[in-house]
Amino acid sequence: MRIALDAMGGDFAPAVPVTGAIEALSELPASCQIQLIGREADVRAELDKHDVSQDRLLVIDAGEVIEMNEKPLAAIRGKRRSSIRVGLELQKAGESDAFISAGNTGAVMAASTLFLGLHPGVDRPAIAALFPTAGKPALVLDAGANVDCSPRELRGFAHIGSVYARDVLGRSDPSVGLLNIGEEEEKGNEAVRNTYELLANDPGIRFVGNVEGRDILSGACDVTVCDGFVGNVLLKFYETVAHLFRGLLEREMEQSVLRGDGMRRVFKVLDYSEYGGAPLLGVRGVSIICHGRSPSRAIKNAIGVALQSVESKLNQHIAAEFASRESVT
């Protein structure tokens, strides 16, 4: 297996992506290779700082970088040797099995859609983000790929989210909730009400009804569906609250006897880097989007997510899900 990693993506590239790749090697199968894509001289200089075998690390030169403030589509078309474009073209050509980037999110989405394409029946891809709960993490999609979504598109997200929950999260019969301002069926705007009707009448989805924001962290369902505007606001709000809560705990516990394994477990649950990256679901391939401020641990975990997505045959199962349901396609 070959996993392509954007070595120039993120606020701390190439140091963080290279370190994350090295940290991942010990947990990957011996047959797995990581392709580090970026400015070759910069990537090799970073590799030389580490005393590690480079047998399973392949550097692929890509001399251009798409900056965070660039317009995604124009940058993808104009910078043909950018690390994002080169990485996804490798997957399109069958020379890589997955792509990971902490770079320009819009550019990753645009290039993934352009070069990998969408599964038949999938109208739009969705970013799927994991949220911690008191039990197992919950999946929320869309977390930012689409500001406006039709009821049909939201139903599609419910299907691809269910497949991901089964294949990658290990939920045998995943439950799906629709994010709304109340539990009652008649709540919400017209798009949400129409989506409720579609989900309630879709035999391929275990729909549990409307869920509110508070229900996500309580683990009320395995998959929560919403448009990308709401999902992204929710994600950014959680990240801020988690960071604030962690900081307050650390400050208060500095001299407390309660510091120890229990608190470390709490910090781990709150840390977004433990979940690696968010997959862009619906494209005909594996594309993982990481936070621009991701530390090396997040990159390492994102590589694990990519590996699991490929090994579980996630894309084949998403294709089969839509091919078998005329109501979706």
- The structural domains of the chain, ordered by start, are 1-120+282-291 (3.40.718.10), 123-278 (3.40.718.10)
Residue-wise pLDDT for 124-134, tens only, equals: 999 999 998 87
- Give the pLDDT of residue 260: 61
Flag residues of the chain having pLDDT under 70. Answer: 252-273, 325-329
- What is the structure's pLDDT at 10? 95
pLDDT of residue 328: 42
* Whole-number pLDDT of residue 200: 97
Q: In the prediction, which pLDDT does 249 show? A: 72
Contact predicate 276/302, CB 8 Å: yes
Q: Contacts for 51-58 with beta carbons within 8 Å, 24 or more apart? A: 52/22, 52/25, 56/25, 56/28, 56/30, 56/32, 57/21, 57/22, 57/25, 57/33, 58/2, 58/33, 58/34
- Looking at residue 235, its amino acid is L
pLDDT number for residue 168: 94
> In what helix (H) or strand (E) does residue 208 lie, and over which residues does it extend?
strand 206-211
Q: Where are the alpha helices (DSSP H) in the chain?
A: 15-25, 40-47, 72-78, 83-92, 105-116, 151-167, 190-200, 213-217, 228-253, 261-270, 296-311, 314-323
pLDDT score of 327: 43
CA pair distance 304, 242, nearest whole angstrom:
23
Euclidean distance between CA atoms 84 and 66, whole angstroms: 8
